[in-house]
Amino acid sequence: MNVRRIAIAGSGALLAAVVFAACQPTRNFTTYFNLFYNMERIMDEVEDEMLYIREQKTSEPVFYIPYDELDRRGVKYYPHLDRRAMTIEEMRANKIKLDSILIKGSKLMARNAKSDYLPDGIFYIGKAYFYLRDWYQSQKKCEELIAGFPESKWYPDAHLVLSMDFMEQGKVPDALRMISRTIDVAWANKRRDVLVEAFRLNADLQLAEGNVAEAIKPYERALVLSSDDEERARWRYEIGLIHFRQGDFTTALAQFAEVDDLSPDILTQFQTGMQRAAAYRATGQYDAAAEQLADLRDNGNFDGWYGMVELEEANLAGARPGGENMSDSTLAQIDTLSPGKGYSAYALYERAVRAYRAGDYGTAVANFTKVQSANVPFQRRAAYYNSLLGRYFEQLGKATALTQGYEPDTFPDSLRSPASEAYYSVARVFASLDRPDSMLRYYDLTSTWAASGSPEGGRVVYARAMMLRDSGRIAASDSLLQVLVDDYPLTEFGADARKRLGYTDYAKLDTAQDLYLSGKSFMKIGDNTRAMAQFQRVVAGYPRSEYAPQAYYAIGLLYEQADELDSARMYYGRLIDRFPTSEQAAALRPIIQAANLDRMTRPHPVPGDTNSLRVGGAGGAQRPGQSAPQMDVPPEEQLIPLDAADQQQQPGRQSPVLGPRGTSSIPGSQPDPLPPASDTSRPATTPPSGTSPSGTSGTAPSGVPPSNVPPGGAQPNTPPTETPRNEEPVRKPRSGRRS
């Protein structure tokens, strides 16, 4: 009986295996024609529209011009990555097709998870995300394929796409690590196409970091491992090209000479000859360049590329002493010889680069614009130049318009921030183009027009410190970082400087002191709005600090300067209530008492008579546009004046707060007291007629009621409310909530 059961069970297992084996081809057939076939077809359509795919399929030669700034060491530009990825415009044009691939791939994974096409679907989803510029999602799909399907034919491709995902996200260490793995996987799987792309991406990364030796190392390894002379000729050409791009034409010529000793294919032979001719031209060896071009013209294998030879002959004629630049008629003739090739764009691009190197940015932009509209391998390079130079013209024009007609010492404080920001943007353009002389020039202009102690000035000091650090001048960099710690302690640059210099938290200055001194600095440059914000943060965040009474006094002084006398009286009163033993309170107390007595002896205002609400009656009209300095703090931290009536004071009349205008001088125990109200060296804070300090016409700042309306809608004869001692100040309720 048991034998029979075992036989039946064995027959069932065998039958299930047979059925499963029979179902798998059916499952694969259904999956392929229902889903994956369409995914593959749509992806081919998308890639056929991309320029780099057409270049690879037609095996068109690629020519590099000498002295291209984007090929120089230190410029963060990845030409091979740029060639593989889609621009935003290309992505938008293909978005419907790429979204269709994502949908079909999701269905394949959900409904046909047992199909042999599952890894294919995962890879195509990752590739679609890469073209859609969603590099994080592409990264996740490639990592999924690498972890789960090491036997897939897409295993090397997934490594390559993952490397590009890291590069696009700016994860340079991850990209270098993954490219190294890609090279190993490509060698193991004999995928020369992936190997070539990995070598080129590695060269892009290493050259951007200034590591020429590391860029060449994979090619040298390939020369050792390869026994195919045709393949070795390609690697030798790539090494020579790296030196050519760096402007090391002598070494490049030596490498190109070794290519001829191997067995290069026709394309490698032609490209080597063209780059050799360009290197001869760049080093002034014009006869050798002419001889090389004649050899290329006499070789019948290069008939389809004669237009490129004509182009370099015209460049050579213009480079000789007394030669002229290539005319537009010559460019048209070259295009006639090779229709559809776009060889004339090479000449336009080199003309643009020459103009850029000479500082003729207008001519450079005009030629880069022409190249940008052509289907040529360096189309995106031209677009990159154009974007940077366009920003240069935009920001320089803005800075010039703001500073025209002014000297730095007479420049309005309200314009310092936008002017210095514009000059800083110009400096960063030249930093992107690796032109340190121009960058330093515009850093100097940024510092010249920036306000003293402002974040804009601190940013320039920080940028200079990092530039010195990158060049290995650590001591000089540290000295600038110390300047940031001392003069810009509250900025993000000061915080980073403390961290880089190894300061502990105990080495930081007292924050209340930082805020108070920062407010004083803003007062010295006439920026009372920011000064008010810093002082308000002291009294709100550090109410028991030794700097709190000084901050209260400073706030009152700012309100008094703006003729907001009741607000000034309120803050002076809080100073007396909360710090009764301070020297500031002792000096203010008799003045406040006299002011209160004066208010009690005045007649009550007549309802409906708005002039009687003002200090001094009808004669105390407010100056047009006067208002208190704006408090640039969150609404919940803005203190409401307890008595908003009588906020105007006629110029020259007796102040009920501090006596005659311009005569107060308050002694105090602060380490570095504010200048007295009579200090005429202080910049004027009265805003222009018709405008408030915040730049808006006739609008009181947030947290300060209108001058003739008591807070909360109180009646004009409502007596002022006093703040009890040792209690927190009344705070403005948030919008939509009850007070």
What SS3 state is found at 61? coil
How far apart, in whole angstroms, are the C-alpha atoms of residue 284 and residue 321? 10
512 in Cβ contact with 520 (< 8 Å): no
Handedness of CA 279, 283, 289, 292 (dihedral sign): negative
> Which residues touch 240 (CB under 8 Å, ≥6 apart)?
251, 252, 253, 254, 255, 256, 259, 272, 275
- 435 vs 375, more confident: 435
How far apart, in whole angstroms, are the C-alpha atoms of residue 98 and residue 85? 14
How far apart, in whole angstroms, are the C-alpha atoms of residue 125 and residue 143? 12
> Which residues touch 22 (CB under 8 Å, ≥6 apart)?
none
- 136 vs 218, more confident: 136
Residue 505: predicted pLDDT: 54
Residue 699 has pLDDT above 80, yes or no: no
What SS3 state is found at 171? coil
> Which residues touch 562 (CB under 8 Å, ≥6 apart)?
528, 626, 627, 628, 629, 685, 686, 693
| Mean pLDDT value across residues 641-655 | 35
What does the block give as tokens for 624?
């047009």
Number of separate helices (H) and strands (E) present in the chain = 30, 2
How far apart, in whole angstroms, are the C-alpha atoms of residue 402 and residue 422? 9
Least confident segment among 67-71, 402-406, 673-677: 673-677
Residue 714: predicted pLDDT: 39
657 in Cβ contact with 565 (< 8 Å): yes
Residue 77: predicted pLDDT: 66
Residue 270 has pLDDT above 60, yes or no: yes
Beta bridge partners of 660: 654
Residue 10 has pLDDT above 60, yes or no: no
Q: List Cβ<8 Å contacts ≥24 apart for 485-490.
A: 487/453, 487/458, 488/453, 488/455, 488/457, 488/458, 488/461, 489/514, 489/518, 490/514, 490/515, 490/518
How far apart, in whole angstroms, are the C-alpha atoms of residue 74 and residue 206? 9
Amino acid at 738: R
Separation in Å, CA 259 to CA 196, 296, 584, 681: 17, 15, 86, 76
530 in Cβ contact with 413 (< 8 Å): no
197 in Cβ contact with 220 (< 8 Å): no
The 3-class secondary structure across 473-492, one letter per residue, is CHHHHHHHHHHHHHHCCCCH
pLDDT band at 689 (very low <50, low <70, confident <90, very high): very low
Q: How confident is the prediction for the chain on average, in pLDDT?
A: 74
The torsion of the CA quartet 121, 122, 125, 126, rounded to 10 degrees, works out to -150
| Mean pLDDT value across residues 210-216 | 85
- Name the most confidently modeled range: 7-16, 457-466, 478-487, 545-554: 545-554
Residue 274 has pLDDT above 90, yes or no: yes
Q: Which of 319, 525, 310, 488 is nearest to 409 (CA)?
A: 525
- Name the most confidently modeled range: 8-12, 642-646, 727-731: 8-12
- Name the most confidently modeled range: 2-6, 249-253, 624-628, 718-722: 249-253
- 680 vs 465, more confident: 465
How far apart, in whole angstroms, are the C-alpha atoms of residue 16 and residue 690? 91
The continuous run of DSSP H or E covering 655 comes out as strand 654-655
What SS3 state is found at 699? coil
Query: Phi and psi of 727, rounded to 5°?
Result: -110, 155
- 678 vs 195, more confident: 195
Residue 78: predicted pLDDT: 78
> Which residues touch 163 (CB under 8 Å, ≥6 apart)?
175, 178, 179, 182, 198, 201
pLDDT band at 327 (very low <50, low <70, confident <90, very high): confident
- 735 vs 239, more confident: 239
- The structural domains of the chain, with segments of one domain joined by +, span 51-388, 513-603+616-713
How far apart, in whole angstroms, are the C-alpha atoms of residue 198 and residue 210? 18
Instruction: State the pTM of this model.
Output: 0.54
| Mean pLDDT value across residues 664-676 | 38
Residue 393 has pLDDT above 60, yes or no: yes
Separation in Å, CA 544 to CA 85, 538, 599, 633, 669: 59, 9, 31, 19, 16
pLDDT band at 34 (very low <50, low <70, confident <90, very high): low
Write out pLDDT tens, residues 82-128: 778 887 888 888 899 899 889 888 887 777 666 777 888 899 899 99
- Name the most confidently modeled range: 3-17, 80-94, 667-681: 80-94
Give one DSSP letter per residue of 545-613, joined into a string.
STTHHHHHHHHHHHHHHTT-HHHHHHHHHHHHHH-TTSHHHHHHHHHHHHHHHHHHHSPPPPTT-GGGG
Question: How far does Cα 257 stand from its chain's mean position?
Answer: 43
- Name the most confidently modeled range: 490-494, 561-565, 670-674: 561-565
Write out pLDDT tens, residues 429-467: 888 887 888 888 998 898 888 877 777 788 888 888 888
CATH class of 51-388: mainly alpha
Q: Which of 94, 122, 96 is nearest to 107 (CA)?
A: 122
What SS3 state is found at 731? strand
Query: Phi and psi of 452, rounded to 5°?
Result: -65, 130
How far apart, in whole angstroms, are the C-alpha atoms of residue 386 and residue 374? 14
Write out pLDDT tens, residues 293-308: 999 999 988 888 888 8
Residue 635 has pLDDT above 70, yes or no: no
| Mean pLDDT value across residues 14-32 | 49
Residue 626 has pLDDT above 70, yes or no: no
Write out pLDDT tens, residues 231-264: 889 889 989 998 998 889 999 999 999 998 888 9
Residue 727: predicted pLDDT: 44
Write out pLDDT tens, residues 198-210: 988 888 888 877 7
Separation in Å, CA 523 to CA 457, 517, 518, 520: 17, 10, 9, 5
How far apart, in whole angstroms, are the C-alpha atoms of residue 104 and residue 125? 9
What SS3 state is found at 90? helix
| Mean pLDDT value across residues 302-321 | 86
Residue 319: predicted pLDDT: 85
Give one DSSP letter per residue of 344-356, joined into a string.
HHHHHHHHHHHHH
- 203 vs 290, more confident: 290
How far apart, in whole angstroms, are the C-alpha atoms of residue 710 and residue 714? 5
Residue 174 has pLDDT above 90, yes or no: yes
| Mean pLDDT value across residues 69-78 | 62
Counting residues of the chain whose pLDDT is more than 90, the rounded percentage is: 19
| Mean pLDDT value across residues 376-388 | 82
Amino acid at 232: R
Beta bridge partners of 31: none
Least confident segment among 17-26, 235-244, 548-557: 17-26
Helix pair angle (474-487, 492-500), 10° resolution: 130
